[in-house]
Amino acid sequence: MGDETRAREDLAAAFRWAARLGLNEAVSNHFSLALCDGPEAPFLIQPSGRHFSRVRASELLKIGPEGGVLAGDGQPDPTALHIHGSIHRGVPAARCMLHTHMPYATALTCLQGVDLEPISQNALRFYERVAWDEDFGGMALDDDEGARLARALADKPVLFMGNHGVTVAGRDVAEAFDRLYFLEKACEAQVLAMSTGRELRRVDPATARLTRDQWEAYPDGPENHFAEIRAILDEDSPGYRD
């Protein structure tokens, strides 16, 4: 299997599984994957109007560094092009980027003065690893918006986009999707805890950093997680590979 074939299949699997988990919205939201290192790398993204649950590997568009379609039928969603194109150029280490309006994470972006609190083991994975963009100015329909998001993300793996949603980055699909999953679980726990009206039990900074580092050293977690996702899809929905 060639590198691009594997990249296409992995990204298509991420779309399918995100739909199963209810992390997408209608035919909105977008995932992308750069095919090599560097700011000029072409990247894969879904064509506009495609539901996550129906994305196939072969129909993913290959986008060049200037935003043109190098391969595939159709065009990317314009907001996807500005967000993902700008971040791939400005933060080339973010090889895979997953942008969603998943419910619990998005709920936190709609609250004033709220951060991802260090109150659960899942949340501690992201301790000091989260960036925020507070300057929502409507849909991302120009490169200035995308460039601002790239500057806000910088070297962090998670960008909370105020009044909008989140973008999660990783070195590959497995790492980015594992982060996306556990970020939503962390946000779910926080929203539920906040809904009680009781005081949050915050973990102290030293323990938070220790737990974060343990997460980062834990062997093969993202790889095993994503391998199981693909195995399930191979059994009951193998069309994602087409």
pLDDT tier at 193 (50, 70, 90 boundaries)?
very high
Name the more confident of 69 and 148.
Answer: 69
Angle subtended at Cα 88 by Cα 69 and Cα 64, rounded to the nearest 5 degrees = 20
Res 2 pLDDT > 90 = no
pLDDT tier at 103 (50, 70, 90 boundaries)?
very high
CB neighbour list of residue 122: distance below 8 Å, 6 or more residues apart = 182, 183, 185, 186, 189
Residue in the structure block whose two tokens are 């539901």: 51
Res 233 pLDDT > 80 = yes
- Rounded to two decimals, the pTM is 0.95
Res 175 pLDDT > 70 = yes
Spatial strand order of the sheet with 96-100 comes to 69-71, 61-63, 43-45, 30-34, 96-100, 165-170, 158-161, 130-133
What average pLDDT does this structure show over 204-228? 96
**β pairing state of 158-161 and 130-133:** parallel
**For the chain, percent of residues with pLDDT exceeding 90:** 87
Q: Where is average pLDDT lowest: 24-38, 137-151, 154-168?
A: 137-151
Res 1 pLDDT > 70 = no
- pLDDT tens-digit readout, 43-66: 999 999 999 999 999 999 999 988
Residue in the structure block whose two tokens are 């929905």: 237
Phi–psi pair at 135, nearest 5 degrees: -110, 50
- pLDDT tens-digit readout, 5-44: 999 999 999 999 999 999 999 999 999 999 999 999 999 9
- pLDDT tens-digit readout, 64-88: 988 899 999 999 998 888 899 999 9
Task: Identify which of 198, 169, 214, 191 has the alpha carbon closest to the alpha carbon of residue 117.
Answer: 191
Per-residue pLDDT at 141: 67
